[in-house]
Amino acid sequence: MNLSSFMPKDLVYPKAAACLTEEEKKDYIEKISGLLKEQNAAVIAHYYCNDDVQALAESTGGFIGDSLEMAKWGKKSSFDRLIVCGVRFMGETAKILSPEKTILMPSLKAECSLDLGCPAEEFSEFCDQHPNRTVVVYANTSAAVKARADWVVTSSIAIQVVEHLHSLGKELIWAPDRHLGSYIERLTGADMLRWQAHCVVHDEFKAQALEKLKQMHPDAAVLVHPESPAAVVEMADVVGSTSQLLKAAKTLPNSKLIVATDSGIFYKLQQACPDKELIIAPTQGEGATCKSCAHCPWMAMNGLKEIYEALTAGQDTGLHEVHVDEEIRVKALNSLNRLLDFSEKLAGRK
């Protein structure tokens, strides 16, 4: 059973981070590096951020990863301040796990279409209409939605969690990504009421254009994130999260890889597979619109100038510091801890 879409009809894409000259980049990197040491701070970047931001995180002792890896790394680190380069729910997740730390972001206006497509009030009202169902939400949601959930999952472990709940006879509510939910439902056979939001990047990959690209490169392996439409997923050699796609890219024998996820991943893919040809899956041409052109417009708000501004905001932290209501934080932490505990048990069985 599906739900009607709650996606905003007219999403307004933000301006990207400031475009800098090479000399300006060098200057900002030098200044940021000094500030990070002074403030005992670290840059934590998502795989989908621009190359300059990921390189900065690497060169200054920070971290690059997916949203939950970012938050877990920040929690374990000894840094007092974390500069979370990604989108707003990632900053909130870091604050949920590390309430004692100052969490800053280059811009608090960096949204996520999945988060926007799952408003907390509407979602909570729907959950109230189905009180006997276990609520499972994707990490790409607000702290308030996580607080309403029984479980939070990432794309790398969602199938295992749903299989576990299905084996216990649980009927589920899933939110927010319709494609990932459909993929999980097909694989597990679980009874799921699926929220109908989508990622503006992954939703644009189209099977028609991908099929033509495969014909041009018949020896290429196709790597697809499960937030993509079913017809695209069905064409994949590997389906997985960002971390899983990176691991697969290293081990696949193919010298060419067609990649259907945000193009920001190419920074780490090129490091992992320097001898392989990497090709972004098409978001334009027949059957495609190329509104995002395979790069999240809100991720593109993260830049060196914006990181510097977050570190130098002083008392004017309203533009950059992440705050989460304590009652919401505690509730969201409970659902996140279920995921973390399950993940540790799963790892122990391997």
In order, the DSSP letters of 25-93 are HHHHHHHHHHHHHHHTEEEEEETTS-HHHHHHHHHTT-EEE-HHHHHHHHHHS--SEEEEES-HHHHHH
pLDDT at position 291 is 54
Q: CA separation (Å) from 213 to 170, 224, 275?
A: 41, 14, 20
Q: At how many degrees (to 10) do helices 88-97 and 326-349 cross?
A: 80
Mean predicted lDDT score pLDDT of the chain: 93
pLDDT at residue 102 greater than cutoff 50: yes
AA letter at 333: L
pLDDT at position 210 is 93
Burial environment of residue 30 by CB neighbours within 10 A (0 to 12, 13 to 18, 19 or more): exposed
pLDDT at position 122 is 94
Residue range 259-271: mean pLDDT, rounded:
96
pLDDT at position 316 is 60
The share of the chain scoring above pLDDT 70, in percent, equals 93
pLDDT at position 313 is 86
Burial environment of residue 37 by CB neighbours within 10 A (0 to 12, 13 to 18, 19 or more): exposed
List, for residues 15-66, the tens digit of each pLDDT value: 888 899 999 999 999 999 999 999 999 999 999 999 999 999 999 999 999 9
Of 45-54, 217-226, 324-333, 337-346, the poorest mean pLDDT is in: 337-346
Question: In terms of Cα–Cα distance, which of 179, 181, 220 is closest to 198?
Answer: 179
pLDDT at residue 288 greater than cutoff 50: no
Cα separation, 165 vs 3, in Å, equals 21
pLDDT band, residue 9 (cuts 50/70/90): low
Cα separation, 299 vs 105, in Å, equals 11
pTM over 0.85: yes
Question: In terms of Cα–Cα distance, which of 318, 265, 308 is closest to 20?
Answer: 308
Cα angle 245, 248, 251; round to 5: 155
pLDDT at position 26 is 98
Is-contact 53 46, C-beta < 8 A?
no
pLDDT band, residue 116 (cuts 50/70/90): very high
Is-contact 323 118, C-beta < 8 A?
no
pLDDT at position 330 is 98
Cα separation, 225 vs 204, in Å, equals 12
pLDDT at residue 344 greater than cutoff 50: yes
pLDDT at position 334 is 97
Is-contact 63 42, C-beta < 8 A?
yes
AA letter at 110: A
Is-contact 196 5, C-beta < 8 A?
yes
pLDDT at residue 8 greater than cutoff 90: no
Is-contact 126 3, C-beta < 8 A?
yes
